[in-house]
Amino acid sequence: MKKLIVSSLFIFCFVFAGTASAAQGERSLKLSGLEHDHVSIADADQSGLDIAGDMTMALWVKPTSVIDNMPLISKWNTGEKTQYILFLENGELGVHLNAAPSGFGYSTHRVAHGQSENEWFHVAMVYKSASGTTELFVNGQSVGIDTTAPTSISNTDTEFSIGGRDDLVTAFSGNIDEVRIWSRALTSNRINTLYQSTGTFNNGTDLQGFWKFNGNLNDRSVNKNHLRFSFSSDVPY
């Protein structure tokens, strides 16, 4: 266990669903589904990820299996410090948003994603605070709109995680790539363009985090929210 290095988490993979080969040099984050096996940044170290208003989250996923709630992007700790989480669960794509600094008073929006395990697909969530609206997208197309979200999101001190949660209750199993988060609501046309042209997409303004996972955990946005691997404290001696 002492010899584990971060670079061992990365493998060559397809960038676009359905392509015959990966673009040269492109890699993705591969996670085992173990609760400690995710990447994150402490709240005190991050910048721009405590988003209270309009927000867009987008990423490519290739789940090996989905049995329980599997976090994709989160600032979430059950029972306290709940903020936002985008997740997969039993054939559904879902999002929780919380307006309170603690507790379980969060909104829920989930829809069937219609995709298979062990295949790449693109998911996105757009939140519009003024109307309390969330819209979920799969492969560039809207799959559902919900109007029960809060008109603001709580600001907590929980860590920002990709592929896991701060409370280590559950984690993602499979590959994740091209994770982006904005503090603005992208239009449906822009979401579709992102899906169609991931490699050349113009991120525009208010990009708060962008992780390509091409051999490192670095954030390509101006915020430099570089992630760390969550090592386990369980050792043999």
Domain extents in the chain: 8-229
**Can you spell out the DSSP letters for the chain?**
-TT--GGGGEEE--SSTT-SSPPTT-EEEEEES-TT--EEE-TTT-SS----S-EEEEEEEEES---S-EEEEEE--TTBS--EEEEEETTEEEEEEESSSBSS-EEEEEEE----TTS-EEEEEEEETTTTEEEEEETTEEEEEE--S-SS-----PPEEESB-TT-S-B-EEEEEEEEEESS---HHHHHHHHHTGGG----S-EEEEE--SSS--B-STT----EE---S----
Please state which architecture CATH assigns to domain 8-229: Sandwich (2.60)
Q: What is the mean pLDDT of residues 171-196?
A: 97
**Which residue has better confidence, 112 or 14?**
112
Q: Which residues pair with 133 in a beta bridge?
A: 128
- C-alpha triplet 114, 120, 126: angle, nearest 5°: 65
In the predicted structure, residue 3 carries a pLDDT above the cut 90: no
Q: What is the mean pLDDT of residues 195-221?
A: 97
User: What does the pLDDT look like over 32-62, one tens digit per residue?
Assistant: 888 778 999 999 999 999 999 999 999 999 9
- The token pair at 187 is 């239009």
Per-residue pLDDT band at 235 (split at 50, 70, 90): low
How many residues can be counted in the chain?
237
Q: How far apart are CA 95 and CA 182, in angstroms?
A: 16
Q: How far apart are CA 224 and CA 90, in angstroms?
A: 34
Nearest to 65 by CA among 144, 194, 172: 172
User: What does the pLDDT look like over 138-155, one tens digit per residue?
Assistant: 999 999 999 999 999 999
* pLDDT recorded at residue 34: 82
* pLDDT recorded at residue 19: 35
Q: What is the mean pLDDT of residues 196-216?
A: 96
Q: How far apart are CA 56 and CA 54, in angstroms?
A: 7
**Which residue has better confidence, 70 or 20?**
70
Q: Are strands 121-128 and 106-112 parallel, antiparallel or unpaired?
A: unpaired
* pLDDT recorded at residue 8: 34
In the predicted structure, residue 98 carries a pLDDT above the cut 70: yes
- The token pair at 81 is 């410090």
* pLDDT recorded at residue 232: 57
Q: What is the mean pLDDT of residues 182-190?
A: 98
CB distance 175 to 17 below 8 Å? no
In the predicted structure, residue 230 carries a pLDDT above the cut 80: no
* pLDDT recorded at residue 36: 78
Q: What phi and psi, each to the nearest 5 degrees, are found at residue 75?
A: -130, 85
User: What does the pLDDT look like over 100-129, one tens digit per residue?
Assistant: 866 678 999 999 999 999 999 999 999 999
Is the pTM higher than 0.95?
no
User: Which region among 8-17, 18-27, 122-131 has the lowest average model confidence (pLDDT)?
Assistant: 8-17
* pLDDT recorded at residue 226: 98
Q: Name the average pLDDT for the chain.
A: 87
